[in-house]
């Protein structure tokens, strides 16, 4: 079980570090952190004492990064929805102004 714990810890550390180096939108790294948390459970359960401590530490770090990235994704989605609503309102106002002026929106975009 020592080899399994070692391999799982190395894979977990890689799955925690590599996504932080990527330039991605918030929320796209949640899966990476979830898999890292699952891999951190192997040494936390099956490993010797020092691997158990390291496994629990990695599990806590993975869970924390998961929650932070998920929260950032929610904020990002809310911000995008607000921007889309503003753009939609501006487009509706422009269409109403053109209609009031008698200009066909299809001829004059």
Q: Which residue in this structure is represented by tokens 């330039």? A: 23
The encoded tokens of residue 58 equal 């990695």
Is residue 59 a part of any domain in this protein? yes
Residue 102: its pLDDT value, please?
75
pLDDT tens sequence across 85-99: 999 999 999 888 888
Total domains, the chain = 1
What distance in Å separates the CA atoms of residue 65 and residue 17, rounded to the nearest whole number?
11
24: domain range? 2-76
Is residue 18 a part of any domain in this protein? yes
CB–CB of 19/31 below 8 Å? Answer: no
Is residue 83 a part of any domain in this protein? no
Cα dist. 107→24, 40, 98, 104 in Å? 40, 61, 11, 6
The encoded tokens of residue 39 equal 């891999």
Is residue 54 a part of any domain in this protein? yes
Residue 35: its pLDDT value, please?
96
What distance in Å separates the CA atoms of residue 42 and residue 38, rounded to the nearest whole number?
7
Give the global pTM: 0.77
């Amino acid at each position: 079980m020592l080899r399994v714990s070692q391999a799982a810890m190395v894979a977990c550390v890689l799955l925690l570090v590599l996504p932080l180096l990527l330039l991605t939108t918030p929320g796209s790294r949640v899966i990476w952190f979830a898999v890292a948390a699952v891999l951190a459970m192997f040494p936390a359960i099956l490993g010797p004492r020092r691997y158990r401590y390291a496994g629990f530490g990695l599990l806590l770090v993975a869970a924390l990064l998961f929650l932070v990235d998920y929260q950032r994704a929610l904020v990002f989605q809310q911000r995008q929805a607000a921007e889309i609503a503003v753009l939609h309102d501006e487009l509706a106002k422009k269409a109403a102004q053109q209609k009031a002026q008698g200009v066909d929106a299809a001829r004059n975009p």
